[in-house]
Amino acid sequence: MLTEEATPARIRQWKTVYAEYAPRLKPNRKTGGEMAAYLRKRYPVTELADERLRQIVIQNMLDNEHSARKLPAGRQPAAVVFSVADEGAGRRLYARREAPFAGVPVVVGIELETGFFHAEGSAALWDELFAFRGLDAEDLQNFYLVAEYVACAGQYGLLGDALR
The three-state DSSP-derived secondary structure of 125-147 is HHHHHHHHHCCCCCHHHCHHHHH
Q: Does 19 fall in a domain?
A: no
Residue 34's domain comprises: 29-139
Query: What CA dihedral angle connects 135, 59, 93 and 150, to 10 degrees?
Result: 20
Q: Does 11 fall in a domain?
A: no
Q: Does 164 fall in a domain?
A: no
Confidence (pLDDT) at 26:
94
Number of domains in the chain: 1
Torsion-angle region of residue 115: left (phi > 0), alpha (psi -120 to 50) or beta? left
Q: Does 154 fall in a domain?
A: no
- pTM here is 0.93
| Residue 146 · residue 135 · CB < 8 Å | yes
What is the C-alpha radius of gyration for the chain, rounded to an integer number of angstroms? 16
pLDDT digits (tens, 9 = 90+) for 77-122: 999 999 999 999 999 999 988 888 888 999 999 999 999 999 999 9
* Residue 38: strand, helix, or coil: helix
- Assign 2 a pLDDT band (cuts: 50, 70, 90): low
pLDDT digits (tens, 9 = 90+) for 42-73: 999 999 999 999 999 999 999 999 999 999 99
| Secondary structure tally for the chain: helices H, strands E | 8, 4
Q: Does 20 fall in a domain?
A: no
Distance in angstroms (rounded) separating the CA atoms of residues 108 and 105: 10
Q: Does 10 fall in a domain?
A: no
Distance in angstroms (rounded) separating the CA atoms of residues 6 and 37: 33
Q: Does 89 fall in a domain?
A: yes
Distance in angstroms (rounded) separating the CA atoms of residues 67 and 47: 23
Taking CA atoms, 127 is separated from 29, 93, 117, in Å, by 14, 12, 11
Q: Does 78 fall in a domain?
A: yes
